[in-house]
Structure 1
Amino acid sequence: MKKNLLILALVILSIALKAQERPNILWINGDDLGTELSCYGNPDVKTPNIDQLATEGVRFTKAYSNASVCSSSRSSMITGMYPTSINCQDHRTINRTKLPDDIHTIVEYFQSAGYFCTNASAKNWDKKGKEDYNFLDKVKYDGTDWKQRAKDQPFFAQVQISDPHRTFHHDTENPINPETVKSLPNCYPNHPLLKADWAWYLESVQHCDHYVGEILKRLEEQGLADNTIVIVFGDHGRPHLRDKQFLYEGGIKIPLIIRYPNKIKANQVDDQLVSLVDVAATSLNLAGITIPKQMHGQIFLGDKAQKRGYIYAFKQRTGDAPDNIRSISDGKYKLLWNRMPNMPWMQLSSYKKLQYPAFALYQQLATDGKLEAPYNQFMAPTRPKIELYDLEQDPMEMKNLADNKEYKSVKKKLFKILSENMKEFEKNMIPESAETINQAKISSAKYFKTGMEKKNLNEESSDLELLIYWENLLLKEKSKLLRP
């Protein structure tokens, strides 16, 4: 009897020790956060907290989301699956379905392994953070704050930062002068309005960095920093006209920084290809949890790490803008497959028309015959079926090589791999009905009308009237936008 009790006590002690030894996993997710950070080479922005984290860990230079809009990307990252494989490709569809029987969220895997799972807003730790999942299954988190867990229980935590999602917020402590910004991507014309909007975006990135600092300080103060793997990333790329909701680099390239004290060598720069689905698989592996065989994500850190050969990305309907784009990249070349080539790049997007100064600017400049090449390409009434870019020579993806005979073999190889893989990646995809798409358009029209009324405009206001609004807001009345 005493022997059995002793064995039981030893088992309980062993479990307790293992619980203490297992690392905590912390995801810090910046909403619409691109690679516009000082540690990624941006000369205009101040991001000391993220920069410091990069010096303490590893910074990945070729990390990508696999969707360029929130709900599809977040559904994918929490399952480690490509969005089409779980029927989550259409942004906030009203026809949500349950996950396939053999697919579960990584929250369930962590909980089965004894982890306490949380999801919090960086602005209020008592409030659940953004989820935006495109499936019916309810993700049952254990709480919002890891302090709610049992003593010595390891945790998997997500902290959601709403910046730099639009509407942007000014940084009164470190304002950025639009007239002196150097980092406006050259896929955009060097226009005062776009520079002002860019500076405003960068100030919102600085707010994101502030929250990262608060989260890291919290870990330090609670004595958790040494046993917590911190992973910082954006859910997809930056919220600008040719970026978010498209599969160009600006829409899917994200920052990815990981710190694991005493386990991962500090101040590393890693150039391997990484997809956001890989973060799920790698997080499970770092916690000692077996990766489900069906998971698309791959392990990219540790003894079981695998080198990824290709990045895949998916774009479907977003708001009232139906679309169907798939892409593949080997890190040097990227191929985009426009499966609705008759749709223009600048088809109506109520979200972008309402929120993006560039949308009205491009329309008005084109009307006036002042939108010069190569920027006027984006106003074409149709798109090529295939786009092919050399990312090393043309990182802004402005020169389509698809019809260039010198790149015929590259195009053929990438298209073959992409099209063949889509047969597997899309096997659970259910196309939206015309009725569902129409409902999305009706909902977007209501959103647009309400938003325009807040600007003292109406849904019939011209591009010129909207452009004048933005000019007054960004170029003439900046002081009124300062964050209290």
Structure 2
Amino acid sequence: MNQFIFTLSIILSSLILRAQDRPNIIWINGDDLGAELSCYGNPDVKTPNMDQLAIQGTRFTSAYSNASVCSASRSSMITGMYPTAINCQDHRTINRTELPEGIPTIVEYFQNAGYFCTNASAKNWDKKGKEDYNFLDKVNYDGTDWKQRAKDQPFFAQVQISDPHRSFHHDAENPINPKTVKSLPKCYPDHPLLKADWAWYLESVQHCDHYVGEILKRIEAEGLAENTIVILFGDHGRPHLRDKQFLYEGGIKIPLIIRYPNKIKANKIDNQLVSLVDVAATSLQLAGIAVPDYMHGQVFLGEKAEKREYIYAFRQRTGDAADNIRSICDGKYKLIWNRMPNTPWMQLSSYKKLQYPAFTLYQQLYKEGKLNDAYKQFMAPARPEIELFDLEKDPMELNNLASNKNYKSVKEKLFEKLSNKMEEFERNLILESDETISQAKATSAVYFKESMEKRNLNEHISNSDLLKYWENLLLKP
């Protein structure tokens, strides 16, 4: 018996040693963080900490979330599965279900391999960070801070940064002058109100960068840098009218920067297609943990890296805005499938009406006949079922090529691929009933009414008066 115990102790010690040799992994997740960083070419923003991380690691130029709203995206990234495959496609799902049998979160895989798993707010390490998962299963994190782990135990940590999610925050140290911003995307009119809102967003990106700097300093101070993989990304694209909640580039394109000293090349630019669903699989692989075959995520680093051919993205109900959109992109062309084409782009979204000045501005300019053709199409009462864009020639996705005969073969190829894949990707999708959607609309209406009351505004305010509110807030001297 003593010999058995001795032998067992040797085996356990060996396992513990191997666990200690494994790298720590930290996900830094910026809420609504688009690719508007200085290292990604934005001339207006100051992001020295994320820029430095890019110099020390690899910056991915073609990284995408697979959902354009936080809860669907976060449910996907923590499982390595597309949101429709785990019935997590509707934002803050009302009728939540458990994850399909045999599909746990990756937290369980890390814990089974001896990792200490945490989830913290970057603004308070004693506070649990944002989860926003659309499933019933509880994710049992071991704590909020890796300092709570056993000595030398490897850890998988998520650190959640709430910026640049609206409401935005000004940066008093590095204010951005709205009158001089050069980076307002050309999918938006060059309007003072939109430039002011854009500048405010960029200042919130700078706040995000500040917290990234604090995290990186802590890693260095604790001597963890050499054996810690840092993965920085946004949970989806930027929080603007035509971006978040839609599958255009602004809604799903994200920054992705990975640093792993002496293992991943420093100061490298990687142009391969990467989906946020791939980060789970790649994190497991880097930790020496077998990646389950069922995962939709692919490993994109190391010896077992696979080349991704297509990016898939999904949009369903968000708040009171019910929708059903799918997209596929091969890096050059993107096809968007509007499966509720009679639903306008500008259907009521209480969240956007409350938080986005562009939502009201577009309606007012359109009413006054002042919205140019490129932007006026977003006000149409219905959408085409298929949108097709050449991202190299038309990065703002304003020229739909779906009816252009010169692109017929491209459209047919992408649509066939996308529609065929839906059988697999939507295997566990449960569409919401009309009653559930009505419940979501009622809840959103209450949210809007109460939020407007906090601003001393009436919920039935006219567009012209709501526009004055935004002008007073954003354009005051």
- Normalised to the residue count of structure 1, the TM-score between the two structures is 0.97
| Corresponding residue pairs, total | 477
1:450 positional shift: 1.2
Q: How does 1:183-332 map to 2 (within 5 A)?
A: 183-332=183-332
CA distance in 2, matches of 1:339, 1:9: 59
| 1:322-353 deviation line (CA, Å, top 9, x unaligned) | 00000000000000000000000000000000
Specify the code of the residue in structure 1 equivalent to 2:101.
Answer: D
Question: Where has structure 1 moved over 2 Å in runs of 4 or more?
Answer: 1-17
Give the partner amino acid of 2:44. Answer: D
Contact 1:241 1:358 survives alignment (8 Å)? yes
Q: How far off is 1:2 after superposition?
A: 8.4
Aligned counterparts of 1:245 and 1:176: Cα–Cα separation in 2: 26
For 1:370 and 1:415, the matched residues in 2 are separated by: 35
Structure 2 unaligned spans of 5+? none
- How far residue 16 of structure 1 moved from its aligned partner, in angstroms, is 3.4
Which range is displaced more, 14-23 or 139-148? 14-23
Gaps in structure 1 of 5+ consecutive residues: 478-484
Query: Which residue number corresponds to residue 17 of structure 2?
Result: 17
Distance 2:141 2:334 in 1: 37
Alpha-carbon distance in structure 2 between the residues aligned to 1:309 and 1:9: 47
1:466 paired with 2:453, answer no
Maintained 8 Å contact 2:19/2:113: no
Contact 1:16 1:152 in 2 (8 A): no
Deviation at 1:79, TM superposition (A): 0.3
Structure 2 length-normalised TM: 0.99
Paired residue secondary structure (1:284)? helix
Q: Distance in 1 between matches of 2:459 and 2:9?
A: 70
Q: Does the CA-based 8 Å contact 1:116-1:146 persist in structure 2?
A: yes
The Cα shift of 1:126 comes to: 0.3
Please say which of residues 220-229 and 162-171 is displaced more in the overlay.
220-229
Deviation at 1:5, TM superposition (A): 6.9
Q: What SS class does the counterpart of residue 126 from structure 1 fall into? A: strand
Partner of 2:154: 154
Q: Determine helix, strand or coil for the equivalent of 1:79.
A: coil
Name the residue aligned to 2:452.
452
Would you say the 8 A contact 1:282–1:299 is kept in 2? yes
SS state at 2:231 partner: strand
Give the letter for the 2:68 counterpart: S
- Residues 59-458 of structure 1: pairs in structure 2 closer than 5 A: 59-458=59-458
Check the 8 A contact 1:65/1:236 in 2, yes or no. yes
What residue identity is the alignment partner of 2:268? Q
- Report the Cα offset of residue 20 of structure 1: 2.1
Cα distance in 2 between the residues matched to 1:319 and 1:266: 41
Cα shift readout 1:401-454 (whole Å, capped 9, x = no counterpart): 000000000000000000000011001100001111001000100111111112
* 2:475 match: secondary structure: helix
Question: In the aligned structure 1, how far is the partner of 2:29 from the partner of 2:93?
Answer: 22
CA distance in 1, matches of 2:317, 2:223: 45
1:34-45 matches, cutoff 5 A: 34-45=34-45
Render the CA deviation track for 1:372-404: whole Å, top value 9, x for unaligned: 110101000000000000000000000000000
**Equivalent residue of 1:401, what SS?**
coil
Provide the residue aligned with 1:482 in structure 2.
Answer: none
Q: Work out the CA distance in 2 between the residues paired with 1:4 and 1:445.
A: 66
How far apart, in 2, do the equivalents of 1:107 and 1:415 lie? 35
* CA distance, structure 2, for counterparts of residue 410 and residue 429 of structure 1: 28
Take 2:20 and 2:261, find their aligned partners in 1: how far apart are those partners? 15
Q: Secondary structure at the match of 1:476?
A: coil
Residues 62-86 of structure 1 deviation map (CA, whole Å, 9 limit, x = unaligned): 0000000010000000000000000
